[in-house]
């Protein structure tokens, strides 16, 4: 069989999460679903990550309804989501009963592929999600998050992949959330995974450092990467994924021709370009190369947080010191990859260390809990001396953190009984209690509605206009 790279379109998830602060509303997605479905993408990433929180918090939308609407509009293409393993879509570990129910419901509502990751590449924190995904007939895309450190090398990644494949993951995602994976190391790692395990590899990167397009080309030519993540041009580049249009044009007429219709793609890009005007968030976007990412290897989101935080206290001149401190804190903590939630943990501690001028004089609860083993096993060693200096003789757990959690579904159900209309409400509440409650109150006013008849009309007429639901 001739090799052909496939694409996952991230426009409706990571694309707007990276560039429009996750603010795209369901009504704006609806008129383009049929066109997206007709392109021939491997999958569409439409759910998970920050979209769930954002729906409830900022948009007064029910994320479960969004998924239903998208599933109704996308008949042929697989739908994909991003799941933070035992953290589900939040920042802490959830009990197994809530995670199980969440994954079951997710699949019931139409997700075909779950990209499952853990910030520390701790397979024990991904295991339950993988098992439930497989038990419900969906595809479990086991993930390794890519980072650069003295303890991360090809052998370590292959060991993680081995465990993920052993659990039954049908494919592996190489997740470069910071855009720091360079083309040569990327192709080498993908080739190693494919050669050793024979599983499809799905590559995810961000254009923050400017290397993404080159990474994809190299991964296609040298490693026959199976799937790459792209977005439509208006929601691509900068801190988002590479744009699909130039990649399709690059490969056209070669032995790597994607077979995708550039004309159809540009039509959809035009739709999103028009849509951009509705989102003031898009005006703040800087799509140029951020050399600091190359220099300090921290994700773009972290950089912009630092800038915001330091400028609020008129201390922007501390930025270089904070970025240096990030590396030192990572070293102390055994090199956790910088991805949610460990990026927030490392970032907050680095800022404290620099601002107080006295390292670890003040320590965040997150760092303390991390040192107590509550995030799982750190990738590298942590010295006993350092650990003791922060948490004294506190117990350090060695079991899977979620093993220590009591079941939580029934308790959450009781707590929101006055609002509850369906089981999914309990899951929304368990994930984001205050935010979900606020949404439920709004829903009770009767202002919230999802109108499927409008969607049907779009699908029947091939209507291109944008209408609210």
Q: Which is nearer to Co ion, 200 or 242 (CB)?
A: 242
Supply 146's token pair.
């890519």
Q: Report in angstroms how near the CB of residue 463 gets to Co ion at its nearest.
A: 31
For residues 262 and 252, the answer to whether their CB atoms sit within 8 Å is: yes
Q: Report in angstroms how near the CB of residue 395 gets to Co ion at its nearest.
A: 35
**By CB under 5 A, which span of 11-19, 126-134, 327-335, 440-448 interacts with Co ion?**
11-19
Q: Which is nearer to Co ion, 123 or 177 (CB)?
A: 177
Q: Which of residues 105-144 bind Co ion (CB under 5 A)?
A: none
Q: How many residues does the chain have?
A: 469
- DSSP for 321-353 reads HHHHHHHHHHHHTT---S-TTHHHHHHHHHHHH
Judged by DSSP in three states, 440 sits in helix
Q: Report in angstroms how near the CB of residue 223 gets to Co ion at its nearest.
A: 20
Judged by DSSP in three states, 228 sits in strand
Q: Which is nearer to Co ion, 48 or 401 (CB)?
A: 48
For residues 240 and 210, the answer to whether their CB atoms sit within 8 Å is: no
Judged on CB neighbours under 10 Å (0-12, 13-18, 19+), 198 is exposed
- Give the CA distances from residue 143 to residues 154, 187, 233, 245, in Å, rounded to whole numbers and listed in that order: 14, 17, 26, 26
**By CB under 5 A, which span of 13-21, 155-163, 344-352, 448-456 interacts with Co ion?**
13-21
Supply 164's token pair.
């993920």
- DSSP for 45-64 reads EEEETTHHHHHHHTS---HH
Peptide bond into 341 cis (omega under 30): yes
Q: Report in angstroms how near the CB of residue 175 gets to Co ion at its nearest.
A: 7
Residue with tokens 């006295």: 358
Q: Which is nearer to Co ion, 201 or 402 (CB)?
A: 201
Q: Which is nearer to Co ion, 19 or 319 (CB)?
A: 19
Q: Report in angstroms how near the CB of residue 257 gets to Co ion at its nearest.
A: 27
Q: Which is nearer to Co ion, 211 or 412 (CB)?
A: 211
Q: Which residues, at least 6 apart from 151, have a Cβ–Cβ distance to it below 8 Å?
A: 334, 335, 379, 380
Q: Which is nearer to Co ion, 14 or 53 (CB)?
A: 14
Q: Report in angstroms how near the CB of residue 339 gets to Co ion at its nearest.
A: 9
Q: Report in angstroms how near the CB of residue 14 gets to Co ion at its nearest.
A: 4
- DSSP for 64-113 reads HHHHHHHHHH-SSSEEEEEE-GGGTTSSS---HHHHHHHHHHHHHTT--E
Closest-CA residue to 199 (of 232, 226, 159): 226
- CB-based closest residue to Co ion: 14
Q: Report in angstroms how near the CB of residue 241 gets to Co ion at its nearest.
A: 7
State how far the Cα of 344 lies from the Cα of 367, in Å rounded to an integer.
10
Q: Which is nearer to Co ion, 183 or 242 (CB)?
A: 242
How large is the greatest C-alpha to C-alpha distance in the chain, in angstroms?
68
Q: Report in angstroms how near the CB of residue 245 gets to Co ion at its nearest.
A: 19
Question: Residues in contact with Co ion, total (CB under 5 A)?
Answer: 2
Using CB under 5 A, pick the residue from 14, 45, 245, 424 that binds Co ion. Answer: 14
- Give the CA distances from residue 149 to residues 37, 179, 219, 263, in Å, rounded to whole numbers and listed in that order: 40, 15, 22, 43
For residues 298 and 178, the answer to whether their CB atoms sit within 8 Å is: yes
State how far the Cα of 395 lies from the Cα of 194, in Å rounded to an integer.
40
- DSSP for 261-274 reads -HHHHHHHHHHHHH
Q: Report in angstroms how near the CB of residue 10 gets to Co ion at its nearest.
A: 7
Q: Which of residues 395-434 bind Co ion (CB under 5 A)?
A: none
Supply 339's token pair.
């991805």
Q: Which of residues 145-204 bind Co ion (CB under 5 A)?
A: 177
Provide Rg for the chain, Cα atoms.
22
Q: Report in angstroms how near the CB of residue 206 gets to Co ion at its nearest.
A: 6
**By CB under 5 A, which span of 14-22, 39-47, 139-147, 249-257 interacts with Co ion?**
14-22
**By CB under 5 A, which span of 6-14, 326-334, 395-403, 447-455 interacts with Co ion?**
6-14
Q: Which is nearer to Co ion, 132 or 231 (CB)?
A: 231
Q: Which is nearer to Co ion, 88 or 203 (CB)?
A: 203
Q: Report in angstroms how near the CB of residue 177 gets to Co ion at its nearest.
A: 5
Q: Which is nearer to Co ion, 14 or 290 (CB)?
A: 14
Q: Which is nearer to Co ion, 14 or 122 (CB)?
A: 14
Q: List residues near Co ion by CB under 5 A.
A: 14, 177
């Amino acid at each position: 069989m001739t090799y052909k790279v496939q694409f996952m379109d991230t426009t409706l998830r990571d694309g707007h999460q990276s560039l429009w602060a996750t603010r795209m509303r369901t009504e704006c997605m609806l008129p383009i679903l049929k066109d997206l479905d007709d392109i021939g993408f491997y999958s569409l990433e439409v759910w998970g990550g920050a979209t769930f929180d954002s729906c409830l918090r900022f948009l007064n939308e029910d994320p479960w309804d969004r998924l239903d609407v998208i599933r109704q509009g996308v008949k042929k293409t697989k739908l994909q989501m991003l799941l933070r393993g035992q953290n589900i879509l939040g920042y802490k570990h959830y009990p197994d009963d809530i995670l199980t129910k969440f994954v079951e419901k997710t699949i019931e509502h139409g997700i075909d592929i779950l990209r499952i990751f853990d910030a520390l590449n701790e397979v024990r924190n991904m295991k339950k999600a993988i098992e439930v995904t497989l038990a419900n007939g969906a595809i479990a895309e086991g993930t390794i998050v890519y980072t650069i450190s003295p303890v991360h090398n090809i052998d370590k990644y292959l060991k993680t992949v081995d465990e993920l494949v052993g659990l039954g993951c049908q494919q592996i995602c190489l997740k470069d959330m910071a855009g720091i994976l360079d083309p040569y190391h990327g192709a080498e790692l993908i080739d190693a995974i494919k050669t050793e395990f024979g599983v499809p590899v799905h590559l995810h990167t961000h254009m923050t450092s400017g290397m993404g397009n080159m990474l994809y080309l190299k991964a296609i030519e040298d490693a026959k990467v199976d799937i790459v993540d792209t977005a439509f041009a208006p929601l691509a580049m900068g801190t988002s994924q590479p744009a699909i249009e130039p990649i399709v044009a690059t490969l056209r007429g070669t032995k790597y021709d994607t077979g995708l219709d550039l004309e159809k793609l540009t039509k959809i890009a035009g739709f999103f370009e028009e849509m951009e005007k509705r989102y003031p968030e898009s005006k703040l976007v800087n799509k140029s190369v951020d050399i600091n990412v190359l220099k300090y290897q921290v994700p773009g989101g972290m950089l912009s947080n630092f800038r915001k935080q330091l400028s609020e206290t008129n201390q922007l001149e501390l930025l270089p010191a904070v970025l240096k401190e990030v590396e030192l804190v990572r070293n102390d903590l055994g090199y956790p990859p910088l991805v949610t939630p460990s990026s927030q943990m490392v970032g907050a501690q680095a800022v404290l260390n620099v601002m107080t001028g006295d390292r670890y004089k003040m320590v965040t609860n997150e760092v303390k809990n991390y040192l107590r083993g509550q995030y799982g096993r750190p990738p590298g060693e942590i010295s006993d001396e350092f650990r003791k200096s922060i948490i004294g003789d506190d117990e350090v757990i060695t079991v899977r953190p979620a093993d220590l959690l009591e079941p939580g579904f029934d308790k959450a159900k009781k707590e929101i009984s006055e609002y509850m209309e369906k089981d999914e409400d309990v899951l929304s509440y368990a994930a984001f209690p205050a935010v979900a409650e606020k949404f439920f109150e709004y829903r009770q006013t009767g202002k919230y509605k999802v109108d499927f008849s409008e969607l049907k009309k779009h699908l029947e007429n091939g209507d291109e206009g944008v209408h609210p639901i």
